[in-house]
């Protein structure tokens, strides 16, 4: 599995378009036990990515990601801005000076994103956050690469793993964010961030054949 700046562009464009398209849905998920601004905040941040799409430096995939991270971090409100911005920034740093991105590079970049989210959000797997879907998805990516599967199969497997993991957050009590204030009332609903990861990966998997 390898890719170029064009592949990274495809992934980020798909991500941005689907975040904007799912603004209402993500907000509804967050409103169950949160303050309901998750969808709105993310959409505002990624609208600017779409508006400024042609202006981002494409020297290499890493530079491209760090520029997007800076644009979204400046625009996304609440806790989502620092979290998503940190994730993209950490990934971008790992991919700098890598014109051709191999599977191992993607794993390393996403592991760096996870570490950044853990540090910035003071969260870990089991706290009912996006990590509960993102970590299983990246674990699946690594396992699928080791099995020699192709990119389309890998993205589909990641989406499936993320969706199953997001559904499992229903059994968890929120330990971070606004939802944590509700205590045991947070049990029984999916985490909005985890479900967003699953939805975005599913959209990417569906679009992958058009790449």
The DSSP code sequence of 115-179 is HHHHHHHT--TTSSSTHHHHHHHHHHHHHHHHTT--HHHHHHHHHHHHHHHHHHGGGSPP-SSGG
pLDDT above 80 for 84: yes
pLDDT above 60 for 184: no
Rounded Cα distance, 32 and 35, in Å: 8
Q: Is 137 exposed, middle or buried (0-12, 13-18, 19+ CB in 10 A)?
A: buried
Q: Comparing 164 with 171, which gets the higher pLDDT?
A: 164
Domain range summary for the chain, segments of one domain joined by +: 2-210
Tens digit of pLDDT for each residue in 117-154? 999 888 999 989 999 999 999 999 999 999 999 999 99
Which residues have CB under 8 Å from 36's CB, separation 6+?
A: 27, 28, 30
Helix axis angle, 103-121 to 80-95, nearest 10°: 150
Tens digit of pLDDT for each residue in 95-107? 998 889 999 999 9
- In CATH terms, the fold of domain 2-210 is 1.25.40
Q: Are 86 and 117 in contact (CB under 8 A)?
A: yes
- DSSP letter at 209? G
Q: Which long-range contacts link 79-84 to residues 24+ away (Cβ below 8 Å)?
A: 79/121, 79/177, 80/38, 80/41, 80/42, 80/45, 81/41, 81/45, 82/120, 82/121, 83/117, 83/120, 83/121, 83/130, 84/42, 84/45
pLDDT above 70 for 58: yes
Q: With bands split at pLDDT 50, 70 and 90, how would you rate the model's confidence at 181?
A: very low
pLDDT above 60 for 180: no
pTM, entire model: 0.91
pLDDT above 70 for 178: no
Neighbours of 97 (CB within 10 A): 9
Q: Are 69 and 88 in contact (CB under 8 A)?
A: yes
Count of all residues that appear for the chain in the document: 211
């Amino acid at each position: 599995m390898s890719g170029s700046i064009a592949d990274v562009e495809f992934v980020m464009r798909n991500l941005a378009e689907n975040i904007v398209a799912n603004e209402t849905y993500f907000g509804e998920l967050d409103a169950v036990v949160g303050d309901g601004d998750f969808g709105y905040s993310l959409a505002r941040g990624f609208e600017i990515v779409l508006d400024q799409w042609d202006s981002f430096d494409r020297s290499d995939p890493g530079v491209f990601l760090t520029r997007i991270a800076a644009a979204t971090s400046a625009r996304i409100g609440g806790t989502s801005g620092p979290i998503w911005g940190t994730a993209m920034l950490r990934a971008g740093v790992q991919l700098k000076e890598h014109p051709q991105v191999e599977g191992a590079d993607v794993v390393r970049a996403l592991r760096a994103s996870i570490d950044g989210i853990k540090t910035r959000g003071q969260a870990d797997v089991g706290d009912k956050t996006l990590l509960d879907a993102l970590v299983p998805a990246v674990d699946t990516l690594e396992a699928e690469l080791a099995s020699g599967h192709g990119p389309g199969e890998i993205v589909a497997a990641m989406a499936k793993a993320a969706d199953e993991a997001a559904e499992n957050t229903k059994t968890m009590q929120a330990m971070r964010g606004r939802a944590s204030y509700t205590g045991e009332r947070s049990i029984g609903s999916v985490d909005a961030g985890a479900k967003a990861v699953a939805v975005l990966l599913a959209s990417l998997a569906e679009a992958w054949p058009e790449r």
